[in-house]
Structure 1
Amino acid sequence: MADRSVALQKPSAPPSPVHGGTQQATVYRILLAISFVHLFNDSIQSVIPAIFPILKDNLFLTFTQIGWISFAINFTSSLIQPVIGYAADRRPTPILLPIGMCFTFAGVFLLAHAHTYLLVLLAVILIGLGSATFHPEGMRVAHMAAGMRKGLSQSIFQVGGNAGQSLAPLLTKFIFVPYGQIGAMAFTFVAGAGILVQSYVAKWYHGMLKAGYTFKKRTAGRTLDPARRKSIWNATVVLVVLVFIRSWYGAAISSYYAFYLMEAYRISIENAQIYIFLFLASGAVGTFFGGPLADRYGRRNLIIFSMVGTAPIALILPFVSSFWAGVLLVISGFVLLSSFSVTVVYAQMLHPGNIGTVSGLITGFAFGMGGIGSLVLGNLGDVWGIANVMIAVGFLPLLGLLALLLPSDRTLDQWSKE
C-alpha cells in the first residue's frame, strides 16, 4: 500500500483513490470537461424538439407523428441507459464515452439529410443511443472526480445538460427557421468536438481505474433485513415516479407549448421559442443552485418544494397574458428543475456503489418514460386541441405530493453508511 501511495504522488498519475474517492481532491478540470460534453450531448438532443416545427411543415406531420419522434429518442435512451449503467458498474469501459458521441455524430448527419419520416426516426434513434451511452459513464466520471463534493459535482455535471437543452428554442429561431432542416449539419461540428473531449476524459478515467479506484459498495448489502430492503426499493420507485412526472410536464412545455402560444396568442414561431428558452434556461440555473439549496435545506425538502411549488404556476399558466406567461415560465423552470441533480444524488445514496445503474434508471428510464408522455400528449393534441392539453398537464405537478413518502435525510444518511 505504501508503494502505491508513492506511485500515485507522481505528477502524471491520477489523484489517490480511496474507496470511491472519499479522500480524493475534487478534480475540477474533469468535472468541467464532462459538463461541457453534457452540454454538447444535450444541445444536440435539443435539436430534436427545436426542429419539430420545421419537420411538421416539411413532411406534413401531425402532432401524433411528432409525438412518435419524441418517443423514439426518449424510449431508446430508456431501454439502453440502465443496461449500459448496469454493465459499467460491473466492468467500467471508458472507451464508451467517445463511442457514444460517434453514434450522435451519425444521427445528426442523417437528420440533416432525412427527407422521409422513417429516416427522421432512424436519425433520432441513433442520437438516443449516443445519449444512452454517454449518461451512465458520464455520471460515473462526475462521481469519480467529485472527491467529497458529490452534490456540487452533480450540479456541475447536470447544469451542462440542462444548459444544452435550453438552447432548443434558440436553435429554432436562429438556425432552423432561416436555414431549415439542413441547419442540423452545424451540430456535426459539436459532436466532433465532443468526441475529442470524451477521448481526453476517457484517458483520465482509464488512468484512475488503473491506479486502483473503486466505488464504495454497501458493506452490509447482503445482510439487510427484508423490511429495510423493501423500504429502499419503495423509495426508489417513488423517486422514479417523481422524475417521470417532471419529465411529462417538461415535455409538454418544451415540445408543445410553442404551438399553444402560436394558437392562443398569435405569436410567431420565432418569438414563441423565446418563451421556451426562458423556461429551459431558468431550469438550468435552478439545476446549478439545487445542490447548494439541498445542502442547506435538505434533499427531501427540496424535492418536495420542486414538485409541489410548480403546481400552482402550472395550473394558472394557460390563463394568463403573454407577458405573465413569460414571467411564470421563468419561475416554474427554476423551481421544477432545482431538484434535478438532487434526485440523482438521492438515488445514488439509496444504492451506494451502483452509480451507473442508478444513473441510468433516473436519467434514462425515467426520462425515457417521459417520451411516452410526449407521445400521449401529441395524440391528445390532435383529439382535444393543444389548448386543452396545456390545461390538463397543469395538474401533473400536484402528483409531486408523492415526495412526502420519501425517507428523511437523516434516514437516508443512515442507510447509505450501512
Structure 2
Amino acid sequence: MVLPRSRLFWSVSIGHLVIDIFNASVAVQLTFISGHILSLTNTQIGLAISLYQLVSALSQPFAGWLADRTGGRSLGAGGVALTVGMQALALLLAATTHNYTLMVVPLVLAAVGNGTYHPVGTMHASSNPATRSSDLSIFFMMGQLGGGLGPAITGMLLDRFSSANAVFTQALGGFEARLVEHGSIAPILVMALFALPSILYMLVSMPNRDLFRQQNGAVAKGTMRRPLGLTPLLMLGAMVAMRGLVNPGMVAFLPRLFQSRGWSPAEYGLVTSSFWFAGAFVGLIAGQLAVRFGDRLVIGVTLLISAPAVFLLGSAADASAYLLAIVAGAFSSASHPLIVAMTQRLLPGGRGLASGVGLGAIFGMGALGTLVIGALSDSVGIETAFRIIAVVTVFNGLLALRLPGIAPTEPPPAVPDESREVVPKAA
C-alpha cells in the first residue's frame, strides 16, 4: 500500500476530516434545535439544509477557478475557519433569539466557507497524476470519516449535557439563562475550538501565491479525453440530480425520521454516523473496481444495491436501522469519488475548476433533493418520502448503466517520488 508523505496532502486531508465533521452535524443540530429550542417543520429544516448545500455548491466553481491561480491557501484554511465559526454563531443565535431567519443567515455564510475549501483541498490532493485515483480515495475517505464522526459526537454531546447545562454555561454571562432554559448548545461551541489546529496546519503547509505559481508555471490544462454529446451529457446530469435525493439529500432527514420515533440525539446521531462511516471505506474499494470494470457499471450497481436499504430504512424502528443505514450509506456514497474523477477527466482547465464544477453539481443537486424531501415529508409523511426515494434510486441505477463509457486519462510514466513511502504488506 502506497501512502502519501506530503505534508500538503495531509494538511488538506485533515482539513477535510474537520470541516466534514461540522458539515455532517448540521442536520443533527437542526433536529435538536427543533425539539429543544425552536419548533421547526420538516420544510423549514429542509430549506435551511438546502440553502446550506446550494450556496456551497454555487461557490465551488468560482473558488476552484481562484485556486488554480493562487494556490488557495487563504481559501482553504479560511474556508474551514468560516464554516466552523458561522455554524457556532448560527447555534448561538437560535438559542438566544429563537428566530429562524437569524439562525439561517450565518448558516448560509458557513456554507460559503465549505464551498471555498472543497475545490482547494481536492486540487492539492490530486496533484500527482500517477497516483491521483488512490490519493483522491484517501482524501474523500477522510471527509467521509468526518461525516461519520460529526453526527455521533454532536448527538452524544447534546444528549449528555442538555440536562447539565450549568457546567458549560455558567461563564457565558447574559447568555446563560437562555441556554439553560430549553437545552444547551454550549458543548458544540466548545467543540468548534478543536478546529483551530487543523486551520493552522493548513496555513503553514499550503504554498502562498508566488510559490504556487513558481511550482506550477501556469494553470495546468486538463485533458478532454472524449467530448460528450448533448444526450450523454443530459444523462449524466440527470443521474447526478437523482442521486442527490438519496445522497446527500436523504441523509439530512435521518435525524428527523428517528426523532419522530422517540430516539435520543445520541441514537439518531449514531444512525447518521453509520451512514457516513460506511461510505468512507466503500469509496476506496469502488475506486479500484472502477479501474477494472468501468465507472458506469460500479455507479449503476452500487445505486441499485442501496435502493432496498433506503426503502426499508423508512419503516425501521429497532436496531436494524443501523444495519440499513450502513448498507444505504456504503453503496449510495460509492459513486462520489467516481463522479469527481470523471469530471476532472472531462473538463478542460485547472484541477481546481474541474473539482469545483464536479463537487458543485453533487452538492447542488443534493440541495434541491433536500428541499424536495422536506416538502414531500410534510405532505405525505417522512416514511413514504423514503420509499419514493428508493424507487427513484432504482431508476437512477438503471440510467447509470446506460451512461457512455469514459476512458480514464493515461497517467505519465512512473518516476521515483521521495514524497511517498511504501508500506510493506503483512506476511
Please name the residue that 1:246 is paired with: 243
Structure 1 stretches of 4+ moved >6 Å: none
Any conservation in 1 of the 2:248–2:363 contact (CA below 8 Å)? no
SS of 1:406 mapped into structure 2: coil
Stretch deviating more after TM superposition (83-92 or 278-287): 83-92
Whole-angstrom CA distance in 1 between matches of 2:222 and 2:274: 41
The answer on 1:165 being equivalent to 2:169 is: no
Please name the residue that 2:166 is paired with: none
Letter aligned with residue 104 of structure 2: L
User: Greater share of helix residues, 1 or 2?
Assistant: 1
Any conservation in 2 of the 1:112–1:183 contact (CA below 8 Å)? no
Whole-angstrom CA distance in 1 between matches of 2:384 and 2:291: 39
Please name the residue that 2:185 is paired with: 181
Letter aligned with residue 322 of structure 1: D
1:286-318 residue CA offsets vs partner (Å, 9 max, x unmatched):
123322232233323212222222223323433
Please name the residue that 1:53 is paired with: 31
The answer on 1:203 being equivalent to 2:207 is: yes
Any conservation in 1 of the 2:70–2:213 contact (CA below 8 Å)? no
CA-CA distance at 1:151 after TM superposition: 0.5
The answer on 1:114 being equivalent to 2:93 is: yes
CA-CA distance at 1:189 after TM superposition: 1.5
Give the unaligned 5+ runs of structure 2.
Answer: 163-183, 413-427
CA-CA distance at 1:204 after TM superposition: 7.3
Please name the residue that 2:398 is paired with: 401
Residues 69-148 of structure 1 aligned to structure 2 (within 5 Å):
69-89=48-68, 92-115=71-94, 116-144=99-127, 146-148=128-130
Any conservation in 1 of the 2:52–2:111 contact (CA below 8 Å)? yes
Please name the residue that 2:138 is paired with: 156
Whole-angstrom CA distance in 1 between matches of 2:196 and 2:130: 32
Q: Residue 258 of structure 1: which of 235, 255, 266 is its match?
A: 255
Residues 1-40 of structure 1 aligned to structure 2 (within 5 Å):
27-40=5-18
Any conservation in 2 of the 1:97–1:134 contact (CA below 8 Å)? yes
Whole-angstrom CA distance in 1 between matches of 2:62 and 2:212: 23
1:213-254 residue CA offsets vs partner (Å, 9 max, x unmatched):
5564257x7xx9xxx6452x6545444433333332134542
Any conservation in 2 of the 1:278–1:329 contact (CA below 8 Å)? yes
Please name the residue that 1:275 is paired with: 271
CA-CA distance at 1:277 after TM superposition: 1.8
Q: Percent identity?
A: 25
Give the unaligned 5+ runs of structure 1.
Answer: 1-24
Structure 1 pair 339–188 and aligned structure 2 pair: CA distance change class (3 A): same
1:353-387 residue CA offsets vs partner (Å, 9 max, x unmatched):
43222211221233123112212211222222222
Stretch deviating more after TM superposition (46-55 or 203-212): 203-212
Please name the residue that 2:357 is paired with: 361
Structure 1 pair 101–271 and aligned structure 2 pair: CA distance change class (3 A): closer
Any conservation in 2 of the 1:81–1:365 contact (CA below 8 Å)? no
| C-alpha RMSD of matched pairs (Å) | 2.8
Any conservation in 2 of the 1:101–1:134 contact (CA below 8 Å)? yes
CA-CA distance at 1:88 after TM superposition: 3.3
CA-CA distance at 1:81 after TM superposition: 1.0
Q: Residue 392 of structure 1: which of 379, 388, 395 is its match?
A: 388
Any conservation in 2 of the 1:98–1:198 contact (CA below 8 Å)? yes
CA-CA distance at 1:147 after TM superposition: 4.2
CA-CA distance at 1:260 after TM superposition: 2.6
Please name the residue that 2:194 is paired with: 190
Any conservation in 2 of the 1:104–1:126 contact (CA below 8 Å)? yes
Structure 1 pair 203–174 and aligned structure 2 pair: CA distance change class (3 A): same
Whole-angstrom CA distance in 2 between matches of 1:104 and 1:60: 24
Any conservation in 1 of the 2:249–2:366 contact (CA below 8 Å)? no
User: How many aligned residue pairs are there?
Assistant: 382
Any conservation in 2 of the 1:245–1:397 contact (CA below 8 Å)? yes
